[in-house]
């Protein structure tokens, strides 16, 4: 399985345009440092309205839905609504999120997996749910993770794990473990 994943990633680089580059080509304003936007696994990016998308530096958007327009009133009113999505610096958007038109996500923010962002999320926040609600600060979340890391097992990055390390992971992780060095 690892062989097929590696082969897919190598081939994808040659036949797949990076989503950030495609958004830029459509008029989006995107930071040039540490931006990772993933468009596989059920993601939907509203490329036709890329000019309404802005994000800063060090942003990761896991496969999610970025909707810069809403055509739900088209039949009744004969028009669609368009709105900006603006994302600050040092933001992580978890897998399966939906960002609706007209939202601003501040800097130093984590949006939990599966969340639906219907309104603005302020700086230094962790937000989860549908609709997404702030449940704490980014600083508190990072500190909690640091403390958890001190008492949890550590492993190499998944693509560098030997079969023995994978078995060790299966045996040792009861709740959480940490993999390698993640660099953004």
Residue span of the structural domain in which 128 resides: 2-71+78-136
Is 56 domain-assigned?
Answer: yes
Residue 66 lies in a domain: yes
CATH number of the domain that residue 89 is part of? 2.160.10.10
Selecting among 36, 51, 57, 69, the annotated active-site residue is 69
Q: What is the pTM of this model?
A: 0.84
Instruction: Compute the average pLDDT of residues 40-49.
Output: 88
Residue 51 annotated in active site: no
* Token duo for residue 181: 């060095």
Model pLDDT, residue 170: 87
User: What does the DSSP assignment read for 23-87?
Assistant: HHHTT-EE-SSS-EE---TT-EE-GGGGGGEEE-SSEEE-S-EE-SEE-TTHHHHS--EE--EEE
What domain count does the chain have?
A: 1
Res 181: pLDDT: 64
- Does any domain span residue 125? yes
pLDDT in tens, 92-137: 999 999 999 999 999 999 999 999 999 999 999 999 999 999 999 9
């Amino acid at each position: 399985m690892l062989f097929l994943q590696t082969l897919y990633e190598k081939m994808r680089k040659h036949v797949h345009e990076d989503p950030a580059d495609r958004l830029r080509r459509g008029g989006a304003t995107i930071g040039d440092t540490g931006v990772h936007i993933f468009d596989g696994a059920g993601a939907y990016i509203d490329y036709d309205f890329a000019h309404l998308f802005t994000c800063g530096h060090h942003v990761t958007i896991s496969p999610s839905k970025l909707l810069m327009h809403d055509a739900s009133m088209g039949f009744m009113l004969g028009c669609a609504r368009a709105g900006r999505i603006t994302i600050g610096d040092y933001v992580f958007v978890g897998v399966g999120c939906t960002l609706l038109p007209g939202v601003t996500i501040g800097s130093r923010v984590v949006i939990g997996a599966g969340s639906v962002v219907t309104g603005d999320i302020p700086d230094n926040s962790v937000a989860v749910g549908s609709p997404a609600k702030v449940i704490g600060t980014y600083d508190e979340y990072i500190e909690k993770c640091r403390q958890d890391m001190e008492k949890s097992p550590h492993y190499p990055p998944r693509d560098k794990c030997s079969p023995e390390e994978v078995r060790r992971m299966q045996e040792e992780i009861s709740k959480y473990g940490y993999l390698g060095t993640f660099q953004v």
